[in-house]
Amino acid sequence: MYGEVTTIPSIKGVPISGIAGDQQASLFGQMCLQPGSSKCTYGTGCFLLQNTGTHVQPSRNRLLTTIAWRLGSDPIHYAQEGSVFIGGATIQWLRDGLGLVRSAQEVDSLAQSVPDSGGVFLVPAFAGLGAPHWDAYARGLMIGITRDTSAAHIARAALEGIAFQVADLLDAMRADTGTSIPELRVDGGAARSEPLMQIQADLLGCPVVRPSGTETTALGAAYLAGLAVRYWKSPASIASQWKVDRIFKPRMSKDQSGALRARWSDALERAKEWEQAVPARKSASPKTSRRARA
């Protein structure tokens, strides 16, 4: 226990018994208790964590090594972490920036109305690229547009752009650990998107599992605090509370997903270091221009 509440009369004396970062709490809330178990939170950005057990796994692929949790005097559990800067914010951009849709649900409807993106790729590097690329100078890019491109194709390309970034993170983790994950557990607001979760399963080639409650960050913090005050005796006594809402199984062949991911990589390379590639624009003043003409 770290202390107790003293300043809020209604809960005065309630113990403060757990401290956790948001993504570490989500990892625990998803009951990713075994090494290799992984979760991804789809919020404004996307945050993928994989439990590496009591083993510190340094990354050779530009991921972060973080403490997952420590329960009492038990050994510390570690995780690898990768962050995507722009995830669900891509959908917000379609709505608020472009005015293409009026709601996030409309993006899903549009994306499901076409079988694919029609060759359109959207790299949502609006704030640069996070792990494993770490390119602050990358910028957003949409490529492959033709006269046949519709709003539906752009909506689907936006969802695919989120899923491609998460797949890149998982590739980096696989390269570090040498193991493939049996499933990916998902949470966060954008995890409610049915087409996004199906696209994610197709690109990863493994099941994507959405629990009945997608706000697992708060749930994980509550579990950790409850364990600290012995409300629950062990993580095993909590695990049965985790329930599946839906499992998204891959429908796409490895050849298909591989071809899409190769094309994505091509688009990604074009978006990288874009800000540096733009030459500085120095506009001459009228006075300077007259002198130059003279």
Whether the CB-CB separation of 51 and 35 falls below 8 Å is answered with: yes
Query: Could you tell me the end-to-end alpha-carbon distance of the chain, in angstroms, rounded to an integer?
Result: 79
pLDDT for 293: 41
Separation CA 197–CA 3 (nearest Å)? 41
Separation CA 220–CA 41 (nearest Å)? 13
pLDDT for 280: 57
Q: Is the pTM above the cut of 0.85?
A: yes
Separation CA 246–CA 207 (nearest Å)? 10
Residue pLDDT tens, the chain, 294 long: 788 899 999 999 988 888 899 999 999 999 999 999 999 999 999 999 999 999 899 999 999 999 999 998 899 999 999 999 999 999 999 999 999 999 999 999 999 999 999 999 999 999 999 999 999 999 999 999 999 999 999 999 999 999 999 999 999 999 999 989 999 999 999 999 999 999 999 999 999 999 998 889 999 999 999 999 999 999 999 998 999 999 999 999 999 999 999 999 999 999 999 997 666 555 444 444 433 443
Out of 3.40.50.620, 3.30.200.20, 3.30.420.40, 3.20.20.70, select the CATH number for domain 33-214+245-277. Answer: 3.30.420.40
Burial of 83 (0-12, 13-18, 19+ CB in 10 A): buried
- Helices 22-29 and 216-228 cross at an angle (nearest 10°) of 80
pLDDT for 288: 42
Question: Which residues fall within 8 angstroms of residue 75, CB to CB, at 6 or more apart?
Answer: 54
Phi, psi torsion values for 273, nearest 5 degrees: 55, 25
Separation CA 102–CA 34 (nearest Å)? 41
